[in-house]
Structure 1
Amino acid sequence: MSRYWNTEGTYSQIPVEELRRKARESAGKARKKGQELEPVIVKDKKICTSWWGQAWCVNLEQYADYSSRLDRGKRYVRSGAVIDLKVQKGRIEARVQGTRKTPYKVEVRISPMTEEQCQKIIQKCGKKIENMEALIQGSIPEELKEIFTGADGLFPTPREISFSCSCPDWALMCKHVAAVMYGIGVRVDENPFFFFELRGIDVERFIDVTLENKVEAMLENASRPSSRIITDEDAWQIFGL
């Protein structure tokens, strides 16, 4: 008997080589029109190699039951299908090559952080001077992992993120969106400050304020006697001076 819903059908995937060919053609046409593209290029077997990039992927995979879409998204991003991905304040705009000739337009929106959330992250970053040295050099110490994954961290909760795609797939997270989500991980992998920008945080201002708070805290403690300071009496007893 014929059925309206065909639940026994199998999903047919575009071959990787064909997907790459279409992506190259679309990128070439865009460049001929004078469009500047920022493609996502996965250089390693792992999509992300830094701990913060990998943490983003883990965070993504915990959102919901999107396993099938996420697997296809991984395949697309590894194949170079994300021919353009631009990070802006609170928004990511991308173009992803699919089975059709014209790439699909994907938009991801992430809510900016509140001032209170930002201040909490500043406090965590400024606890050790080593943390600031690493931040200035464009790296995030693993001991600051909580600023990404913890409560009120840089990684958005499901309620703080939304996405859309111009493809006809009815799913909330289609494979093109999934590819872009992994592409964000690649961008953050290359430069962790992208995520600060994405959450509406000016990185230079963030570092300046964190340093100012650290200096103020050090000056406050400057007048307090330390148990590690040797007094004249102690020096006499120890060294006979």
Structure 2
Amino acid sequence: MYGGPIRVEGGIRARSQRGSIGSTWWSRRFIDILERVCDKGRLSRGRAYARRGQVLSIELSPGEVRAAVQGSRRDPYEVVIRIEAYAESRWAIIEESIARQAVYRAKLLAGEMPPEIEELFAALGIDLFPRDLDMDCSCPDWGFPCKHLSAVLYLLAESFDDDPFLVLAWRGRTREQLLGSLADVAGGHPTRVEDVPFADRLADFYAPGATAHRPERRPTTDAPDLLLRVFPPPGDLARALTPAYQELSGP
């Protein structure tokens, strides 16, 4: 007889305890795909698992997410979710297309995902968000996806809220790689951005017993620095133009 999952102390718990999960357009886009193709009953139970903190760990790498979920049995279930990670040749085309759009570059440098970027991917004949997910869980549930997979998918969507670059990292491009390449394509120097491992971001993003209150947003890039990165001047003019950029961005 089913007695419910074994209670977990210190698991990864969704911040959203009621209503929908996901607040930004990119996380909602991911959730909409799931809710359109997956069994609603198991998705509902997956949300309950995510909110109870039944997910023990999540590791994201190019093309793959691995997680452990505590169910009703003693040993946690192993979850794997795979999508296509794009090759270097394809990313070179993507980055060149993004670099042509100054507004896209500016938003990405500020830590935002421009809504138009999905259309840019589509125009190149590729998907930003996966249409199909290759998913496996070690549980005996015949449903697809099972509640354990669903819980991990919902937590992924919530993590996309504060770090849209995880969507791109899953496709094979880290934040540091993308922004560095965009600076190169635009004719500037590679942008130095700290590439924090997903596991470390997740540790900061979630906390045991987390509430629906959202953590403080990371500060966006200072305006003068952003101008220099989006419109890099040639040669050694950056040092000379910095005071002018600062004056333009002042009150």
Q: Shorter-normalised TM-score: what interval? A: 0.5 to 0.7
Match of 1:60 in 2: 34
The count of aligned residue pairs is 188
Within 5 Å, give how 1:96-111 maps onto structure 2. Answer: 96-111=69-84
Match of 2:141 in 1: 169
Indicate the SS of the match to 2:7. Answer: helix
Indicate the SS of the match to 1:122. Answer: helix
Identify unmatched segments of 5+ residues in structure 1. 1-10, 28-36, 220-241
2:48 to 71, 75, 80: 75
1:128 to 69, 82, 101: 101
Indicate the SS of the match to 2:79. Answer: strand
1:23 aligns with 2:21: no
- Distance change (3 Å), C-alpha of 1:117 and 1:137: same
Distance 1:12 1:195 in 2: 36
Distance 1:207 1:91 in 2: 22
Confirm or deny: 8 A CA contact 1:40 1:77 kept in the other structure: yes
Instruction: Specify the structure having the higher radius of gyration (Cα).
Output: 1
1:203 aligns with 2:188: no
* 1:137-162 C-alpha deviation (Å, 9 max, x unpaired): 3221223243577751221221xx31
TM-score by length of 2: 0.64
Identify unmatched segments of 5+ residues in structure 2. 189-230, 233-251
Distance 1:56 1:83 in 2: 22
* 1:33-90 C-alpha deviation (Å, 9 max, x unpaired): xxxx7x243246431111111111012223x352222222122112222221111222
Match of 1:224 in 2: none
What is the RMSD computed on CA atoms of the aligned residues? Answer: 2.9
TM-score by length of 1: 0.66
State the Cα distance separating 1:167 from its structure 2 match. Answer: 0.9
Within 5 Å, give how 1:1-241 maps onto structure 2. Answer: 14=4, 19=5, 22-24=7-9, 27=10, 39-43=12-16, 45=18, 46-62=20-36, 64-115=37-88, 117-146=90-119, 151-158=125-132, 161-215=133-187
Indicate the SS of the match to 1:23. Answer: coil
* 1:157-206 C-alpha deviation (Å, 9 max, x unpaired): 21xx3111111112242111111111211221221111222111233222
Distance 2:16 2:151 in 1: 15
Confirm or deny: 8 A CA contact 1:95 1:103 kept in the other structure: yes
| Aligned residue type for 1:154 | L
Distance 1:130 1:123 in 2: 14
Indicate the SS of the match to 2:67. Answer: strand
| Aligned residue type for 2:156 | I
Confirm or deny: 8 A CA contact 1:41 1:80 kept in the other structure: yes
* Structure 1 stretches of 4+ moved >6 Å: none
Distance 1:186 1:149 in 2: 24
